Structure 1
Amino acid sequence: MTGTGVGDVLAGAFEQQRGRLVAVAYRMLGSRADAEDAVQEAWLRLGRQDPDAIGNLAGWLTTVVGRVCIDVLRSRKARPEVPYDEQLPEFVVAEDDGAPPEEDAVLAESVGLALLVVLDTLRPAERLAFVLHDMFAVPFDEIGLILGRTPDAAKMLASRARRKVHDAHRPPDERQQQRAVVDAFLAAARSGDFEGLLRVLDPEVVWRSYSAHGVVVRLGAAEVAARAQRGVRAVVTARPVLVNGDSGIVVRDAHGRLLGVMACTVAGGRIVGMLSVSDPGRLAAMGVPARP
């Protein structure tokens, strides 16, 4: 087959791989936009190849996406003046009583905020080895080729990363426990119960709030509780949602207008981390489900 026919077949084969490639890149980079860019780069490189020279398209694309992601991660590490861990992680918001939207399911699966935070502390090679092997079952010999290392070295990198990630993993059966803690926080905030807020907040809780004016960081249970308590008179509605698979909150005004989204990280029966977004531009890009 020649000409347009080959191009059509190759494009179709690439589209069949796109969802998996975006999922790989998202877990590597923690940003859906960056993941889409990495996959697009793989498509451009594919267009410069002889299709007959590619024996395993899925493997070839995974290798290219992996190498693109490694380059991006190393570039981030080389620019400490713009710390990536201060950027807002991607939010995938879904109803708490159902599965995530079909188009976002591949991204939301196993990508809780706590895991993204831990993944971002890994070295680029560790992150790639862990993501490809533990999440996508790529053999270590293929991972070694991507990294320019031996299979044993790739295995060691994945093992090291696995130990760091282990504490961040949350089995599905813990979701109800998380929800109960976040619901208790909501109830205490609505009633202005300062002591109730302290009971569900870790003493060293960190709340990062992203508004149109910048980022505000509040540290410690007393400061977070005081801020939450001040919102008791606001005429708003708050309802539970899932944010990247973890318990979260959506806040709307009396007219149903979206005011904010909050993601909560729960450990040991208390909230240890909170990320909230009220910046209208960021909120508009999230695709938050409409109020029923």
Structure 2
Amino acid sequence: MTGPVPADDVADAFVAQRGRLVAVAYRMLGSRADAEDAVQEAWLRLSRQDVASIDNLPGWLTTVVGRVCIDMLRSRRTRPEAPYDDRLPDMVVTEDTDAAPEDDALLADSVGLALLVVLDTLKPAERLAFVLHDTFGVPFEEIGQILGRSADATKMLASRARQKVRGTHRTTDDRQQQRAVVDAFIAAARSGDFEALLRVLDPDVTWRAHTARGVVVRLGATEVAAKARHGMRAKVTGHRVLVNGEPGIIAWGPTGRPYSVMACTVVGGRIVEMLSVSDPDRLAALDLPPCPE
């Protein structure tokens, strides 16, 4: 959409762009609530703007949302509400059915937790350049205008971010392979088969657990297997689900209340990274599938 938008059509034009703007903001901020706030701020600014002066509404809105996100990211770093390691990207938890992920609008907009965690390590300008260019195809000239930098400088930011992402984010197996590995992990933990657990865990696996007492990090297959086997002894029921579009695990306690949610990153037929939430307050904030009968 190029050229000025008639004042009477501004609301409809904004609604048409809203889904894309929320997706941009979500990848920038890792929080759907924060993304909605950023897009709402863009609408407020648009409502105060002389729309006749806007030649390219999608580009104008992307610029505004990008700048709002940059400000929010910088504010996080200067006045973090929680310790850096305690921040957790949004979890979208759904039943793992045969339906394609794109059949669920909410899931289609989600991003794998492993990638969101990596993106959170980037500097705000790097993250914006990477997300807008590599994910949404925004030209470097336009991104440079958001950041107040030249196109060449912006291209360098995106390149640096790309290298960091590639250096820490490993390509996962396809969906069926991931499902098989997660199922094997659940079965081994349920039966208490320590050797079977070791077979599906990468020797250098990392388990970052967000508990009511804070973040607990476990390193190595031996330590993770021991804890997983112990967890199943607590009479929890494990069930495979999709966490941000990738196979994960939800566990319910004996009373049917959620005990934990875990996202698993599977590479080369083994689990290389696990991120779980057992903090009751965090679990209560998630929209979780019901416990199967």
TM-score (norm 2): 0.87
Tell me the distance in 2 between the aligned counterparts of 1:169 and 1:38: 30
Matches within 5 A, 1:1-292: 9-79=9-79, 82-97=82-97, 98-100=99-101, 102-108=104-110, 111-166=111-166, 168=169, 170=171, 174-254=174-254, 256-291=256-291
- Superposition CA RMSD, Å: 2.3
Q: How has the CA–CA distance of structure 1 residues 206 and 169 changed in structure 2, closer, same or farther, with 3 Å as cutoff?
A: closer
- Amino acid in structure 2 at the alignment position of 1:96: D
More deviation, 193-202/94-103: 94-103
Q: How has the CA–CA distance of structure 1 residues 84 and 99 changed in structure 2, closer, same or farther, with 3 Å as cutoff?
A: farther
Residue 255 of structure 1: how far off its partner (Å): 5.3
- Please tell me whether the aligned partners of residues 76 and 84 of structure 1 are also in contact (alpha carbons under 8 angstroms): no
- Amino acid in structure 2 at the alignment position of 1:238: G
For 2:3, the equivalent position in structure 1 comes to: none
More deviation, 151-160/161-170: 161-170
- Please tell me whether the aligned partners of residues 115 and 169 of structure 1 are also in contact (alpha carbons under 8 angstroms): no
Structure 1: gaps spanning 5 or more residues? 1-5
More deviation, 253-262/28-37: 253-262
Residue 21 of structure 1: how far off its partner (Å): 0.8
Q: Deviations over 1:1-41 (max 9, x none)?
A: xxxxx776322222221111111011111111211111111
Tell me the distance in 2 between the aligned counterparts of 1:212 and 1:20: 35
| Identity score, percent | 70
Residue 92 of structure 1: how far off its partner (Å): 0.8
Q: How has the CA–CA distance of structure 1 residues 214 and 256 changed in structure 2, closer, same or farther, with 3 Å as cutoff?
A: same
Structure 2: gaps spanning 5 or more residues? 1-5
Q: How has the CA–CA distance of structure 1 residues 81 and 37 changed in structure 2, closer, same or farther, with 3 Å as cutoff?
A: closer
Residue 68 of structure 1: how far off its partner (Å): 1.0
Equivalenced residue count is 284
- Amino acid in structure 1 at the alignment position of 2:141: D
TM-score (norm 1): 0.87
- Please tell me whether the aligned partners of residues 19 and 106 of structure 1 are also in contact (alpha carbons under 8 angstroms): no
